[in-house]
Chain A
Amino acid sequence: MYPSRFSYESPKTVQEAISLLDRSGGEAKILAGGQSLIPMLKLRFASPEMLVDINGIPGLDYLRVDPDGTLRIGALCRHEDLEFSTTLANTHPTLAAAADLVADPIVRTRGTFVGSVCHADPQGDWAATMVALGGKIVAQGPQGRREIDVRDFVLGPFANALAYNEIAVEAVIPGAKGTARGGYLKLERRVGDFATASVAVALDMAGATVSHAGCALAGVGGRTIDANEAISVLQGKPLTAENIEAAAEAVAAVAEPRTDHRGSADYKRHIVKTFVTRLLTNIAKSEQKAA
């Protein structure tokens, strides 16, 4: 496994990194955790002329919650920082549930949240949670910063909305209005396997009523599937078995699975439905307990 020739730069500031990207004219790649990029280089699926390693830039590894409940994740925040966070389960349970299902423990020590969203793998866990939670990516380039809704950010498989001279410096995820409830389920044959199907669900609860519902799917389409509209059938309703069933049907209907060696399209759609049902039923049960 020998990659093509590339040059390596290790800037000390974001500005410096941006000017390297700017000068490269689109032939450079940002190296953050490298858990997808390095294998792609070795397989020569990617052959950039330059790697801009941002690991030497201080101040990008944060995971913090603003007073208004907004979560901010810096470009060098590792998967395991979310996994081992003691507060995430309260503020953003969907992210907390996904955190220990991302890849495997070794990858999680090094890979980054923001890098994973940028990679825009249709199987990516974080992109799905971002879509369900209405997250945004902050891009910084020569003209300054801009916020991009994740649904506009992920353009397709392995394609994002960053200009060649922009860096994704932060992910921004709003806090819940009301009580945050959510979960993440993934069917995989082995840790680190590409998901056969994954489901992210994020609810804001006002008492027993769903005030806002978010949902996204991974592994069941050529891109992250936005199922927010489908799950909106729950809006303003309690989590009864009947409502859960309707939501699960609606979400499964927007999946775009394909038959491959992980299962048939029908099977994957069935898994989506099963997982939505399980996630919502679990939330309903815990609500009952709380009440």
Chain B
Amino acid sequence: MALDEIKIGGMGASRRRVEDNRFIRGKGNYVDDIVLPGMLHMEILRSNVAHARIKSIDTSAAWEIPGVRLVLTGEMMAARNLAWMPTLSYDTQAVLATDKVRFQGQEVAAVIADDPYIAKDACSKIVVEYEQLPAVVNPFEAQDPSAPLIRDDKENQPTNKIFDWEIGDKERTDQAFAEADVVSKIDLHYPRSHPSPLEPCGSIADYDRATGKLTVFMTSQAPHIVRAAVAMVAELPEHQIRIVSPDLGGGFGNKVPIYPGYVISILASILTERPVKWIEDKTGNLISTGFGRDVYLRGELALRKDGRILGMRMHTVSDHGAFFADAQPTKFKIGLMHSTFACYEVPAAHLTSEGYYTTKAPGGVAYRCSFRVTEAMFFQERMMHAAANDLGMDQAEFRRLNLVKDDMFPYRTAFGFLTDSGQYGKCLDIGLEAIGYSTFKQEQEEARKRGKLLGIGISTMTEPLGAGNSREYDIIGIKMFDSAELRVHMTGKAILRTGAKTQGQGHETTWAQIVAHELGIPAEDIVVEEGDTDTAPFGMGTYASRSTPVAGAAVAMVARKIRAKARKIAAHLLEVSEEDIEWELGRFYVRGNQERGVTIQDCALAAYSNVPDGLEPGLENNAYYDPPNLTWPFAAYICKVEVDAETGVWDVLKFVAVDDCGVRINPMIVEGQIMGGLTEAYAMANMQYITFDEEGNCIGSNYMDYLLPTAWETPGFELHEVVTPCPHHPIGAKGVGECATVGGPAAFVNAVMNAIEHTGVRNVDMPMMPNRVYEALQTGEDVSGMPPMKVE
């Protein structure tokens, strides 16, 4: 009898997360939980000014504090050729500043001491003399000919511009605009935000001079990339480097890059011959590590009177901070921004991008999104909203008219992506029905008569996940495939390792479900391990919603290799030829005689005790999976709000999410991902940003200024589901981790705009704080969020 897949915790089972057994008991094992014998503690001294020449650093008083073992400065790093390190975008970043500091919070010196209190005390004794230089806090200031040159350390860098980049067909797009009946424009700022995982970054470097082995426990979403980078930069032999990423307290893209703290702790361990632990504090995490967004998005749509889109132009101006340290595929300077409008029929499109240095923290990481996809989709849905209004068309009708239809797949987008499946119109309709769209306009008018401002906002989008196929996607030259290794023990239990790295996604639960689905081994009999480069197969890690599309596919593929070998063993045990063997979940049987069969567990035992002649013993294998294409989940998010006209405060009355992420492995985890993503979307739309005053002081450097929403103010979300399996993924999954963060913000913003745009206002930049909404209502004019922030 075939097994009941749900009962064994296979595909579709809302199995409880096995990792939670330790997390809810406080038994997780995070970097800061690890204590090594003789371990020292490191604290970093950060710059308190944004832009300044370092005249001198006096560390003598710090050395005098009992318990201080080492004080490191940029000069000492430079003596070992480690003052600068390469970034993931082919730039360089200061490890410890030597010539200048270029952002507030930059690493200037480090103290290594017997305990973290002493290290902190000693840091406060270091005297740094700065000669202050003007700060540059947005990319428009950076372009000013009178702006100071931020990267005077680089050759061939005469200005603050990092890159110009473009994609698409300019000529055809110009033609489309020439033929347009209506041209609609929008001008937006997607403010700087921060992934702010609960656990900040940290590392324990342990260099053993006797064996020559360097072990680094660290907070990394991509430990194998770190090993490769350390091997190349520090010129240590790769087999002598072990990177271990233990339990992670969230990542959201923040833990992809390599940070100065990691590098300093490694050198400190080499110099002191002791393990050295560095744990960043929350402020350090917010002001110095990978931020997200900070892009100015401008564009226009060429439209026909009947509502069809003829062409799209987009221009982005991005602020990368002091070092170009974006984590993104090499080919694409502004990530996958050109995935914008992928769900709509757009005959011609052209995107131009400029990137600039400013005196702000470096980063530009994909904060819970697949490389700038969040900005791309926010632009798209704000642009669609403005265009529908300019045409005088209904928001839903305008979208439905232009969405790619179900029978048009595979569909080549104007920028060359290939979307492969979806039921866009169906998702939109389910959402409209759930929010009560058909009666909303009447409701809105009646409410307005009573002095109440109601609004509805729609955001529909498909986004590219699962980078990626190795033809187009690499990071620092390493192709973006992924891997899995499966060992089935003789009692039918198994261990699975992958090149991904869970950080809250629940891989330990869902990977076992894929194996259960492929082999019929109950999920509870499978342990999943990730993050140790000495044991896990090579992989590119977890970000950009790539785990399920890439590593998850590798899990299915390796399980299928195991099943193929088990089939040979089954044929041997059943004394029939392999061709006469049939498979049902958990069991092989003889064709025509379903009673006569062996279980996968029988085969596992035989693999170690009764192997047919000519077959290798054992039941283990690995798989490297190079996806043929990206995956394209779709979502329709619809939000209904009420705005308080007297204060500008807005409340969400209802939020409906319709997600089509293909086949769902664990529906409960999928729903958790969507709710978490919508919460982050709500935060960005409502309250959350990092900004700067004109001196380059970071406003948003702590959790009193950089707000994370709590359960108190987060609205409820109503979730709906549509399933269109991915045609090229082994189990039909598309990935879901980031859909809601990507598509969510525009739904909130469009809803608030819908409530207030009768005053003539076209845009209020995020976060739509009460004071901004109130200002827009009073003036009928757009409200920009561009720094510098005015502070009296």
Chain A interfacial positions (CB closer than 8 Å to B)? 1-5, 44, 104-105, 187, 189-194, 196, 258-265, 267, 270-271, 274
- Rounded to whole Å, the gap between the CB of A197 and the closest CB of chain B is 10
A191 touches B771 (CB 8 A): no
Min CB gap B779→A, angstroms = 12
Q: Contact at A2–B699, with CB atoms within 8 Å?
A: no
Determine if A5 and B771 form an interchain contact, defined as CB atoms under 8 angstroms apart. no
Choose among B704, B708, B713 the residue that contacts A194 (Cβ–Cβ < 8 A): B704
Is the pair B792, A258 in contact by a Cβ cutoff of 8 Å?
A: yes
Complex contacts, A5 vs chain B, CB 8 Å: 117, 121
Is A190 a contact of B647 with CB atoms below 8 Å?
Answer: no
Are A274 and B705 in contact, CB atoms less than 8 angstroms apart? Answer: no
Instruction: Identify the closest chain A residue to B282 (Cβ).
Output: A1
* A190 adjacent to B713 (CB under 8 Å): yes
Q: Cβ of A263: which chain B residues have Cβ within 8 Å of it?
A: 769-771
Q: What is the interface of chain B, defined by CB distance below 8 A to chain A?
A: 43, 116-117, 119-121, 124, 281-282, 646-647, 649, 686-687, 691, 699-700, 704-705, 707-710, 712-713, 769-771, 774-775, 789-792
Contact B774 A267 (CB under 8 A): yes
List A contacts of B770 (CB < 8 A). Answer: 187, 189, 196, 263
Bound: A248/B679 CA distance, A: 36
Are B791 and A259 closer than 8 Å at their CB atoms?
A: yes
What residues on A are CB-neighbors of B281 within 8 Å? 1
Q: How far is the CA of A178 from the CA of B705 in the complex (A)?
A: 42
- On whether the beta carbons of B713 and A191 are closer than 8 Å, the reply is yes
A208, B687: Cα distance in complex, Å: 41
A190 to B687, CA, bound (A): 8
Query: Across the two chains, which residue of chain A brings its CB closest to B686?
Result: A189
**Closest CB in chain A relative to B174 CB, distance in Å:** 41
Q: Which residues of A contact B789 (CB under 8 A)?
A: 260-261
B791 touches A4 (CB 8 A): no
Residues of A within 8 A of B774 (CB): 267, 270
Q: Are A2 and B116 in contact (CB under 8 A)?
A: yes
Chain B proximity of A274: nearest CB distance (Å): 5
Residue of A1, A189, A263 with most chain B CB atoms under a 10 A cut-off: A189
- State how many angstroms separate the Cβ of A245 from the closest Cβ of chain B: 14
Question: Which residues on the B side are within 8 Å of A274 (C-beta)?
Answer: 646-647
Contacts of B686 in A (CB 8 A): 189
Indicate if the CB atoms of B647 and A261 lie closer than 8 Å.
no
With both chains docked as a complex, state the minimum distance between the C-beta of B249 and any C-beta of chain A, in angstroms: 16
Contact A261 to B691, CB < 8 A, known contacts A187-B649, A196-B771, A267-B771: yes
A261 in contact with B687 given A190-B709, A193-B704, A193-B707 (CB within 8 Å): no
CB distance from A165 to the nearest CB of B (A): 28
Checking A3, A193, A261 against B791 with a beta-carbon cut-off of 8 angstroms, the contacting residue is A261
Q: Which of A104, A105, A264 contacts B771 (CB 8 A)?
A: A264
- In the complex, residue of chain B having the shortest beta-carbon distance to the beta carbon of A197: B647
Bound Cα distance from A105 to B710, whole angstroms: 11
Residue of A4, A5, A263 with highest tally of chain B CB at under 10 A: A263
How many whole Å from B46's CB to the nearest CB in chain A?
14
Nearest 7 CB-CB pairs, A to B? A263-B771, A189-B687, A258-B792, A191-B712, A2-B120, A267-B771, A190-B707
Rounded to whole angstroms, the CA-CA distance of A264 and B789 in the bound complex is 11
Q: How far is the CA of A271 from the CA of B647 in the complex (A)?
A: 6
Give the complex CA separation of A44 and B281 in angstroms: 13
Report Cα–Cα, A181/B592, bound state, in Å: 86
Cβ-defined contact, A259 with B775, below 8 A: no
| Whole-angstrom distance between the Cβ of A264 and the nearest chain B Cβ | 7
Q: How far is the CA of A279 from the CA of B769 in the complex (A)?
A: 23
Query: Could you say which residues of chain B place their CB within 8 Å of the CB of A2?
Result: 43, 116-117, 119-120
Residue from B43, B119, B710 in contact with A190 in the complex, judged by beta carbons closer than 8 Å: B710
B786, chain A: closest CB distance, angstroms: 13
Quote the shortest CB–CB distance from A200 to chain B (angstroms): 17
Q: Which residue of B lies closest to A5 (CB)?
A: B117
When C-beta atoms are compared, the residue in chain B nearest to A190 turns out to be B707
The answer to whether residues A4 and B121 also contact, given A258-B792, A260-B791 and a CB cut-off of 8 A, is yes
| A102–chain B nearest beta-carbon distance, Å | 13
Q: A104 to B791, Cβ gap below 8 A?
A: no
Closest residue to B714 on the A side, CB-wise?
A190
Give 13 new A-B contacts, CB below 8 A, not counting A44-B124, A196-B770.
A1-B281, A5-B121, A104-B710, A105-B712, A187-B649, A189-B686, A190-B707, A190-B712, A191-B710, A258-B791, A258-B792, A262-B771, A271-B647
A104 touches B121 (CB 8 A): no
Q: List 8 A-B contacts (CB under 8 A).
A: A2-B43, A2-B119, A190-B707, A190-B712, A190-B713, A192-B710, A193-B704, A196-B771
B100 to chain A, nearest CB (A): 26
A247 vs chain B, min Cβ distance (A): 17
- Give the distance in Å from the alpha carbon of A104 to the alpha carbon of B711 in the complex: 11
Taken together as a complex, chains A and B put the C-alpha atoms of A196 and B769 apart, in Å, by 11
- A52 nearest CB across to chain B (Å): 21
A104 to B712: give the CA distance in the assembly, Å.
9
Contact B790 A259 (CB under 8 A): yes
Shortest beta-carbon distance, B119 to chain A, in Å? Answer: 8
Q: Which residue of A lies closest to B791 (CB)?
A: A260
Chain A positions within 8 Å of B121 at CB level: 4-5
From the candidates A3, A187, A265, A267, name the one contacting B792 in the complex (CB within 8 A).
A265
**Hey, which chain A residues are within 8 Å of B116, CB to CB?**
2
Within the complex, what minimum Cβ distance (angstroms) separates B679 from chain A?
Answer: 12
Give the chain B neighbours of A271 by CB distance below 8 A: 647
Residues of A within 8 A of B775 (CB): 264, 267
Residue on B nearest A193 in the bound complex, by CB: B707
With the chains together, A104 CA to B707 CA distance in Å? 13
How long is the Cα–Cα vector from A259 to B700 in the complex, in angstroms? Answer: 16
B32 to chain A minimum Cβ distance, whole angstroms, is 12
User: Which residues of A have CB within 8 Å of B769?
Assistant: 189, 262-263
Q: Which residue of A lies closest to B648 (CB)?
A: A267
In the assembly, what is the distance between CA of A36 and CA of B712, in Å?
21
| B713 adjacent to A261 (CB under 8 Å) | no
Q: Which residues of A contact B43 (CB under 8 A)?
A: 2
Query: A187 contacts B647, CB within 8 Å?
Result: yes
Residue in B closest to A278 when the chains form the complex, CB atoms:
B646
In the complex formed, the residue of A with least CB distance to B693 is A261
Distance of A261 Cα from B789 Cα, bound (Å)? 7
Give Cα A261 to B709, complex, Å: 17
- Whether A260 and B792, one on each chain, are in contact in the complex, defined by CB atoms closer than 8 angstroms, is yes
Chain B residues with Cβ below 8 Å from A3 are 117
Q: Chain B residues near A193 (CB, 8 Å)? A: 687, 704, 707
Residues in A neighbouring B691, C-beta threshold 8 A? 261
With A and B bound together, what is the CA distance between A71 and B707 in angstroms? 36
Q: How far is the CA of A190 from the CA of B705 in the complex (A)?
A: 10
Compute how far the CA of A265 lies from the CA of B704 in the bound complex, rounded to whole angstroms.
20
Complex alpha-carbon distance, A265 and B775, angstroms: 12
Cα distance A192–B708 in the bound complex, in angstroms:
10
Residues of B within 8 A of A270 (CB): 774
